[in-house]
Each structure stands twice: as structure tokens, then as C-alpha cells.
Amino acid sequence: MTQNEFNVVLEQQYRKCADVLAHKKKEYTGDRIDRLPHPTVQKFTVITVAIAGASRCFLTQITRHQNEVKFMSASLQYSNYSEKAAFAIPYEILFSEQRSIDLYLESCLSDLKCYQELCSMGFHHDSAGYALPHALRNILIICATPYEWKHMISQRICRRNTDETRIVMLDIWQKLFEFDPVLFSPKLAGPFCQRGCCEEGSMSCGIPIPKDWPPLEIMRADYPLLVEGREAVYEN
């Protein structure tokens, strides 16, 4: 084979490859990504989210997820909360009578005072940290593949989860849904009841979420007192 013949064959192969890539790009991007036969392509990138203000109770729940996800959290060992600390207030208590809120915060502040006294006595922050409540607000960074984000969202948006976990994950889902409304659509990222049928068996809440509801609609229905004043943030 001469050099010219080789060049002709090589060019033909390049054209074939280009045609195949163009076809695949047209077939599997944009609004057709949900038709991919497998999710492998969703595992070749990561999305990093910073969560400021969720409780350490949320931390213990979300870190149960271990596949294709990494966590980095503020440390009780190296952080000193003697000067400043804040506490997450559960939705149910936050919008209850003031005396209930006062009772809750009184307990949190009592634990904080114990922590402060232990630190002043010379005990290490890590040891004193055992006295702090789960309500202590935390800073958490989560790095996960789109595939794992969808898995975490589907598991934690279910109405059988705690309010704080659902609220935080609904917030994250809303941001991801705005970023890619196809990949993070309810039919691909929503809880079981949105993607088919409930799989909780006898533990089912019995109140399925409508299949076409996006995250903000779920937030509006389940936590209306939080949505007021926040919709403008979502819309910007």
C-alpha cells in the first residue's frame, strides 16, 4: 500500500469515527440522556455541594451513603465552640408555640455551657464535644457523582425521613434540578413513589408524592412555612 492509499484509508476511518460520535452525541445528550440503557456516563464526573447550618444529626444520617461519594465535615476535635455556636431547630418545633422553642433552646444552651466549662477546665475540645447536642449546626462538604446524588435524593426525599434531612435534600435537589432538569427530573431522581411505587411495604407513609412534582412543589406542600420568602431565591 502506497502512502497516498494509506492516507485515503485513514481519512475514511476518521470520517466514520466522526459520524459515529456525531450520531451518539445527538442520540444521548440533552433531553435524551434519560434514555441511556445504563448510567455509566453519570459516573465520570462529580458534583460538590457545601452545606452550612445543618445539624450533626443530619451528618450521621447522610454519611450512611458510601458509594461514589466523599464527605468532609467540621471537626469537633479541632473546632472550638466555646465562643460561638448555633443550633438547628426542627421544623415542628420552629413553628410551634414560643414556650416550646424556649424549652428546646434552653436545653441546647445548657449543653453548650457544660461544654464551655469542660474546655475551661482544660479538657480537650474533642472530649468536651461529647456534651454538645446533635442540634449543633455544622459545615459539611459532599462530593458525589450525579448517579449517587440521584440515589441519595431518592432515598432521603421519602416522607418517612426526618424533616431536616428532607428539607436539606430538597434544597440540594432544587439546585441540581435547575442545573439539569432532565437528569434530575422527578422520574429519575425522585423517591420511589414518584418513579414507580412505594417500596416501604408496611412502613409506607400512605401519602405518595405526585409523580410530576419537582422539588420546590414538594417543599411548598410539605413545608409551606419555609417556602415563604425563599421562592425568590430559587427563581434568581
Q: Which CATH class is domain 40-235?
A: alpha beta
Query: Is residue 203 very low, low, confident or very high in pLDDT (cuts 50, 70, 90)?
Result: confident
In this predicted model, what pLDDT tens digit does every residue of 219-236 receive, in sequence order?
Answer: 999 999 988 756 544 454
- Domain positions in the chain are 40-235
**pLDDT score at 36:** 65
Q: What is the pLDDT of residues 53-72, one digit of tens each?
A: 999 999 999 999 988 899 99
Share of the chain above pLDDT 90, in %: 62
| Mean residue pLDDT across the chain | 85
Largest CA distance in the chain: 91
Contacts with 211 (C-beta within 8 Å, 6 or more apart), sequence order: 186, 187, 190, 193, 194, 195
Band (pLDDT 50/70/90 cuts) for residue 44 is confident
Residue 42 pLDDT level (bands cut at 50, 70, 90): confident
Q: What is the average pLDDT across 172-197? A: 92
What tens digit of pLDDT does each residue of 11-31 get?
Answer: 666 566 556 555 544 554 545
126 near 77, Cβ under 8 Å?
Answer: yes
**What is the mean pLDDT of the segment spanning 2-7?**
58
Q: What is the pTM of this model?
A: 0.80
158 to 12, 75, 106, 199, 208: CA distances (angstroms): 53, 29, 31, 10, 9
Question: Which three cell numbers mark 171?
Answer: 434544597
Q: What percent of the chain has pLDDT over 70?
A: 81
If you search the block for the grid coordinates 413553628, which residue do you land on? Answer: 95
Q: For residue 198, what pLDDT is reported?
A: 85
